[in-house]
Amino acid sequence: MCGIVGAVAKKDICPVLLEGLQRLEYRGYDSAGFAVIDSDKKLQRIRIKGKVEKLQEQYRLSPLRGTTGIAHTRWATHGKPSIKNAHPHTYKNQLALVHNGIIENHHKLREELISLGFEFNSDTDTEVIVNAISNELNSDTDFLAAIFKVMKLLEGAYALGVLNIDEPGRLIAARKGSPLVIGIGVDQYFVASDVFALLPATQKFIYLEEGDVADIRANKLTIYNKNKKIVDRPIHVSESTVDITDKQGYRHYMMKEIFYQPDAISNTLKGRSTKDQVITEEFGENAKQIFSKTECIKIVACGTSYHAGLIAAFWMEKIANIHCQVEIASEYRYRKSVILDNTLFVTVSQSGETADTLAALRSAGDAGYLSTLAICNVDESSLTRESDLCFLTHAGIEIGVASTKAFTTQLVALFLLVIAVAKEHGLSKKDEAKLVKQLSTLPARVSKVLEHNDAIELMAKDFADKNHALFLGRGSFLSVAMEGALKLKEISYIHAEAYAAGELKHGPLALVDEDMPVVAVAPNNNLLEKLKSNLEEVKARGGKLYIFADEISEVESTNGMFVLNINNVYDYMSPIIHTIPLQLLAYYVAVIKGADIDQPRNLAKSVTVE
């Protein structure tokens, strides 16, 4: 996945392109580039290997100017990060093209084009598109028609921006399977992978739909649908503000986002319940009717969002007594699954653009589910637009690649869902009020656990020279442990695995020695005594333990066993509370190791490719 920006204006658009690119860097950051058509109607291009900052430096040294341009930040799929593989890709300084997505039949197209005499200068799948457009233009087809023709040849997913020096002042954009939004300015139009990229330039947007092609000039925008018919797409006015990129004194976005969690949770709760009742309509107008028919729930997601789903399944079965199954989207979409009657299909996604989650939703469309619900942090994302019901987490834009506030607000949303479903299946008013009350205590409790920041920073020092770590938990806290292990590996590059504590003796115990720190999530619940026995097994093998315990857990620090009492009183909110120290631990270990916290190597925030 990658980020795209493009613009056509009556003034120089390079600053808009570069700022937009910087704001899209969360989508990939291994190389970047941009191309403009200058006043001599020549194509000018700069590409670098590395981050957008380096592209900006290069631009400062040798500035370009132009009124029509495209830009790209890359997350390598085909071909390693390098200048030759960086976008825009060109055809003989005649055409330039940026692409987000994957062309699955690129091998075949490449061979056909080579047999026609075309040359390839990169290892990317993208280059076939620009050569194929050139091939169509050679046979007297006009620019727009050439793009329609090439779209027919392409299998896979793409969002494209294309320039042609024969038509300076014109940019053609197209999408299928990858997101693309048009920004509307005064005598200027923009195109980008998301709204966030363009917020400094405009608040007015049009979301392109599947198969749409936008023909963009400074004072004219024409959108065609997949049947080549001119269509009107609604204009949306964004309420997002520009200054969300401010780190507000924090060293990293991730830290800002960890500490923003009490506010993010409050915002997600606001207006979603009364003092003692969940407002079911917040999930959609006919949510009540759908939930009353729901006999089974299928949650599908990826990464951190998948972990949120796993925790929610425990809540759903315990509180609502409704069967709930959770699956990784990339697995779900490629297998035959048996759909029980009246199953509600729920996707969970921060971005709403994750390719596998979106594909899973699309395949669920006519598979016989009762209905579809998206729990998402991005309004007007593909996932929210294509689901029957939608519930937005109000976490605010998350910039750090490692998800924190998006995760805890997903859990809040899922807990509201559990209550909303449960009340259609016999949950008493009194019990509903108790659960709503637990939710309302969350922001204050999250603030309290954040006070352990300094102790966790100290603890992190023990991890910095380690290569591996084990995370243990039981019940829903196994999923908390999985999330903790994921955080540690993604930002500190320490290999971390989570295990159900009871499984330790069936294999992983063999790995335990003084070089393998073992982190245990130890809430004061009915499994605590069992967990304590598992911890003794680790201690007896010389493993060093780091235990996050609740109040009254009666687990004491001893030699080789460090217990941090996080002052939590056990209830349904505990998985959320216990997540926070693990986020801080991963953060501080990564800081000590000098890792790139907000943009860890090889990763990206929004994974819009399979």
- The residues of the shown chain that bind ligand G6P, judged by CB under 6 A, are 302-305, 349-351, 354, 357, 401, 403, 603, 605-607
CB atoms near residue 571 (< 10 Å): 15
Token digits of residue 17: 């392109």
Distance between CA atoms of residues 39 and 330, nearest Å: 47
Q: Is the dihedral of CA 555, 557, 562, 565 positive or negative?
A: positive
CB atoms near residue 232 (< 10 Å): 7
**Residue number, nearest CB to ligand G6P:** 303
Active-site residue identified among 176, 256, 423, 605? 605
DSSP state of 568: P
**How near is the Cβ of 24 to ligand G6P at its closest, in Å?**
15
Sheet holding 371-376, edge to edge: 323-328, 296-301, 343-349, 371-376, 389-392
Identify which of residues 45 and 307 has a Cβ nearer to ligand G6P in the complex.
307
Active-site residue identified among 2, 296, 302, 324? 2
Q: Residue 46 belongs to what H/E stretch?
A: strand 43-49
**How near is the Cβ of 161 to ligand G6P at its closest, in Å?**
23
Q: What b/e string do you get for 398-416 counting C-beta neighbours within 10 Å, with b at 16 or more?
A: bbbbbbbbbbbbbbbbbbb
Token digits of residue 430: 């009194």
Identify which of residues 27 and 45 has a Cβ nearer to ligand G6P in the complex.
27
With beta carbons less than 8 A apart as the criterion, state whether 376 and 383 touch.
Answer: yes
Identify which of residues 28 and 33 has a Cβ nearer to ligand G6P in the complex.
28
**How near is the Cβ of 398 to ligand G6P at its closest, in Å?**
8
Sheet holding 518-522, edge to edge: 495-500, 468-473, 518-522, 545-549, 561-565
Q: What residue has token string 């809430």?
A: 523
Burial (CB < 10 A; 0-12, 13-18, 19+), residue 519, is: buried
**How near is the Cβ of 154 to ligand G6P at its closest, in Å?**
24
> Annotated catalytic, 376?
no
**How near is the Cβ of 310 to ligand G6P at its closest, in Å?**
13
**How near is the Cβ of 187 to ligand G6P at its closest, in Å?**
35
With beta carbons less than 8 A apart as the criterion, state whether 92 and 42 touch.
Answer: no
Identify which of residues 126 and 350 has a Cβ nearer to ligand G6P in the complex.
350
Identify which of residues 22 and 305 has a Cβ nearer to ligand G6P in the complex.
305
**How near is the Cβ of 22 to ligand G6P at its closest, in Å?**
18
Token digits of residue 496: 């971390």
Which residues, 6 or more positions from 348, have their beta carbon under 8 angstroms from its beta carbon?
A: 299, 300, 301, 305, 306, 308, 309, 312, 357, 374, 375, 376, 410, 414
Distance between CA atoms of residues 193 and 182, nearest Å: 9
Distance between CA atoms of residues 556 and 372, nearest Å: 47
**How near is the Cβ of 28 to ligand G6P at its closest, in Å?**
11
CB atoms near residue 594 (< 10 Å): 9
DSSP state of 523: -
- Cis omega (within 30 of 0) for bond into 508: no
Identify which of residues 22 and 304 has a Cβ nearer to ligand G6P in the complex.
304
CB atoms near residue 510 (< 10 Å): 10
Alpha helices in 141-285 (DSSP H): 143-153, 195-198, 253-259, 261-269
Q: How far is CA 398 from CA 26, 79, 394, 420, in A?
A: 9, 28, 11, 27
Identify which of residues 136 and 483 has a Cβ nearer to ligand G6P in the complex.
483
Identify which of residues 294 and 350 has a Cβ nearer to ligand G6P in the complex.
350
Identify which of residues 346 and 512 has a Cβ nearer to ligand G6P in the complex.
346
Four-CA torsion 275, 280, 282, 288, nearest 10 degrees: -170
Q: What b/e string do you get for 250-260 counting C-beta neighbours within 10 Å, with b at 16 or more?
A: eebbbbbbbbb
Identify which of residues 168 and 303 has a Cβ nearer to ligand G6P in the complex.
303
Identify which of residues 150 and 580 has a Cβ nearer to ligand G6P in the complex.
580
Across the strands, what pairs with 5? 71, 192
**How near is the Cβ of 479 to ligand G6P at its closest, in Å?**
13
**How near is the Cβ of 303 to ligand G6P at its closest, in Å?**
3
With beta carbons less than 8 A apart as the criterion, state whether 163 and 70 touch.
Answer: yes
> Annotated catalytic, 2?
yes
**How near is the Cβ of 401 to ligand G6P at its closest, in Å?**
5
What is the DSSP code string of 430-499? Answer: HHHHHHHHHHHTHHHHHHHHHTTHHHHHHHHTTTTT-SEEEEEE-THHHHHHHHHHHHHHHHH--EEEEE
Residues with active-site annotation:
2, 605
